[in-house]
Amino acid sequence: AQSVTQLDSHVSVSEGTPVLLRCNYSSSYSPSLFWYVQHPNKGLQLLLKYTSAATLVKGINGFEAEFKKSETSFHLTKPSAHMSDAAEYFCVVSGSWGKLQFGAGTQVVVTP
Amino acid sequence: NAGVMQNPRHLVRRRGQEARLRCSPMKGHSHVYWYRQLPEEGLKFMVYLQKENIIDESGMPKERFSAEFPKEGPSILRIQQVVRGDSAAYFCASSPPSGTGPGTEAFFGQGTRLTVV
């Protein structure tokens, strides 16, 4: 069985400072991992995905994530936060036929 | 290429009524997934369908909930005799037929927000 744990339910950062969202996963085989973002009252947008290629994955809007098997982690980072980054972020692991298992989410607040 | 279309965006039902949520997948996609998001929670898998087949309904409540994806037309999630606890955002996602293994990207609609009063 696969699962993900997002270690922070809320993260507050100042505009222009780095963002770090932490995610640990559990999987019985080599996982596929995703980060999705949800803006208020919107659908979900894929930021990036890891599928056993390069361990450092670059996504949209300046986000990237690093897959670390030894730590079972897939943390999401961005060097410089923008006001438009305020949203909820979900770490997701994919099951055998594409079934997605979502983390509980991390709410990001960006202050001027 | 239009994305995944869900309607209605907002739905208000009185307790005991029926709710019908519709999802039109992206063009060329034959796999549909339904997820439910309760307030302050992440998305929970409900059901996975292909055309005319339910593949996995392990996340569907045993009673009152049903889903279909007919040969023609959108996928429908139906909730009979709604209760206040059914109030949530319901998201539909679709993926192409070329791959359903790990790593297949699912494209999400904007959701239907159901409020039961």
Q: What is the pLDDT of residues A85-107, one digit of tens each?
A: 999 999 999 876 677 889 999 99
Report the C-alpha gap between A99 and A14 in whole angstroms.
35
Report the C-alpha gap between A93 and A31 in whole angstroms.
7
DSSP label at residue A62? G
Q: Minimal CA–CA distance to A111: which of A40, A29, A10, A31? A: A10
**CA-based radius of gyration for chain A:** 13
Asked whether the predicted pLDDT for residue A6 surpasses 60, the reply is yes
| Chain B positions touching chain A (beta carbons under 8 Å) | 4, 31, 33, 35, 41-45, 48, 55-56, 91, 93, 95, 99-111, 113
Tell me the pLDDT band of A54, cut-offs 50, 70 and 90. Answer: confident
Among the residues of chain A, which ranges form H helices? none
Tell me the pLDDT band of B1, cut-offs 50, 70 and 90. Answer: low
Report the C-alpha gap between A61 and A38 in whole angstroms.
14
Q: Average pLDDT in the B101-117 region? A: 85
Q: Please answer yes or no on whether B35 and A95 come within 8 Å at the CB atom.
A: no
pLDDT at A2: 81
